[in-house]
């Protein structure tokens, strides 16, 4: 169910004119394994903002903080995928610099980038996600490949815990394939997720503000929806409308929004979910900086709601500026309240940071 206060915030954010956003710097590229995709996303976002009438420039951000500061942005539009852009580190830097930015904050970004910990969080909230074990747990419990197969079954998916775009991911069809899949994933991460295979249909839910856009059903002739299927081949099919009954789609969208909120995500993002033929929906992951290329899914879902690409990137920027202004107003109001600290006599406990 849509939060009425959040819906009002989205409406107010949409009232912001392009010129009210000030100077927007789109950061993209970076040093992660997803650099090439990020370059394409950033170029598309920048072009969309310019078409929408926004004063925007692009920056291939590879840790060059001074270059970012020199641009004097009123808003940083984050189009950096993977580590260094999607994992909370850039968000923390921007917080320290006092710069407004799009998407999730430090905590939500870090949690969603960490597949293992986001799945543990969902389990704690009783949200469905495929059974799994980490490579660290496997080593700590001295488990063999056969032990893992006994626990999780076959096939298995093996993936780096802190990568996206299916980088370093493998499908394992026998116990004998597990070792090589772990070696491949460990090229990208010291912590690897080993996950039970889900037999069923794959869907993705784009979230913009408090709105979950129409679901997209993904169909690939490949063994799974890998990097090539996402960005290189032309044989992946995307179905929007998804083909689900109205009530089924509504329930899946509610679950995806719950997963998004539980993981601390905000602003915009995408939730990937499988529907198992036997046990129902299974949450896979949340992407806090999804792809924005010509084959990306968030623009596709927005188009199904008659929201153009430039309208989409403008909406994301509007939400970020509105939220930053709202947070600044709250801080100003808090700081303007009269102090409760006594001016004479012994100082209160609260004056020293303890509980009042």
Active site annotation includes 272: yes
Contact 301, 216 (CB under 8 A): yes
Active site annotation includes 278: no
Query: 109, 135, 287, 296: which is the annotated catalytic residue?
Result: 287
Query: 41, 165, 166, 296: which is the annotated catalytic residue?
Result: 165
Active site annotation includes 287: yes
Query: Which parts of the chain fold into alpha helices (H)?
Result: 4-14, 35-51, 65-70, 89-97, 106-113, 115-124, 135-140, 145-152, 178-185, 227-231, 246-262, 297-304, 309-336
Query: 285, 296, 310, 315: which is the annotated catalytic residue?
Result: 285
Query: 28, 101, 188, 231: which is the annotated catalytic residue?
Result: 231
Query: 34, 86, 189, 210: which is the annotated catalytic residue?
Result: 34
Active site annotation includes 270: yes
Contact 311, 208 (CB under 8 A): no
Query: 32, 272, 296, 315: which is the annotated catalytic residue?
Result: 272
Query: 35, 291, 310, 315: which is the annotated catalytic residue?
Result: 291
**Tokens matching residue 152:** 């999780």
Phi/psi at 237 (5° precision): -105, 135
Helix (H, G, I), strand (E, B) or coil at 52: coil
Query: 35, 83, 270, 315: which is the annotated catalytic residue?
Result: 270
User: DSSP string spanning 293-356?
Assistant: STT-HHHHHHHHTT--HHHHHHHHHHHHHHHHHHHHHHHHHHHHSPP-S-SSSSPPGGGGTS--
Q: What are the beta bridge partners of residue 60? A: 28
Residues taking part in catalysis: 34, 165, 231, 270, 272, 285, 287, 291
């Amino acid at each position: 169910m849509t939060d009425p206060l959040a819906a009002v915030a989205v409406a107010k954010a949409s009232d912001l004119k392009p010129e009210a956003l000030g100077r927007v710097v789109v950061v993209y590229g970076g040093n992660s394994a997803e650099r090439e995709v990020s370059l394409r996303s950033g170029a598309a976002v920048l072009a969309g903002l310019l078409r929408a009438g926004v004063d925007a420039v692009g920056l291939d951000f590879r840790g060059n903080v001074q270059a970012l500061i020199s641009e004097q942005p009123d808003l940083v539009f984050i189009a950096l995928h993977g580590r260094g852009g999607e994992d909370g580190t850039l968000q923390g830097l921007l917080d320290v610099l006092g710069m407004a930015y799009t998407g999730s904050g430090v905590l939500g970004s870090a949690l969603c980038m960490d597949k293992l910990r986001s799945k543990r969080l969902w389990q704690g909230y009783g949200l469905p996600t495929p059974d799994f074990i980490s490579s660290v747990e496997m080593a700590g419990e001295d488990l063999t490949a056969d032990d893992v197969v006994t626990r999780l079954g076959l096939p298995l998916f093996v993936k780096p815990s802190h990568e996206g775009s299916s980088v370093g991911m493998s499908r394992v069809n026998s116990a004998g394939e597990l070792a090589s899949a772990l070696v491949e994933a460990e090229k990208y991460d010291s912590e690897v997720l080993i996950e039970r295979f889900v037999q069923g249909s794959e869907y993705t839910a784009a979230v913009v503000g408090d709105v979950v856009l129409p679901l997209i059903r993904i169909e690939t002739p490949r063994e799974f929806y890998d990097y090539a299927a996402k960005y290189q081949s032309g044989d992946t099919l995307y179905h929007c409308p998804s083909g689900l009954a109205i009530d089924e789609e509504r329930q899946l969208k509610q679950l995806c929004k719950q997963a998004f909120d539980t993981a601390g995500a905000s602003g915009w993002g995408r939730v990937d979910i499988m529907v198992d033929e036997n046990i129902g929906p299974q949450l896979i992951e949340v992407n806090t900086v999804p792809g924005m290329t010509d084959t990306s899914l968030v623009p596709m879902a927005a188009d199904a709601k008659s929201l153009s690409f430039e309208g989409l990137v403008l909406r994301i920027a509007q939400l970020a500026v509105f939220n930053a202004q709202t947070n600044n107003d709250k801080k100003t109001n808090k700081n303007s309240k009269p102090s409760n600290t006594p001016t004479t006599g012994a100082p209160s406990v609260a004056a020293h940071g303890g509980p009042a």
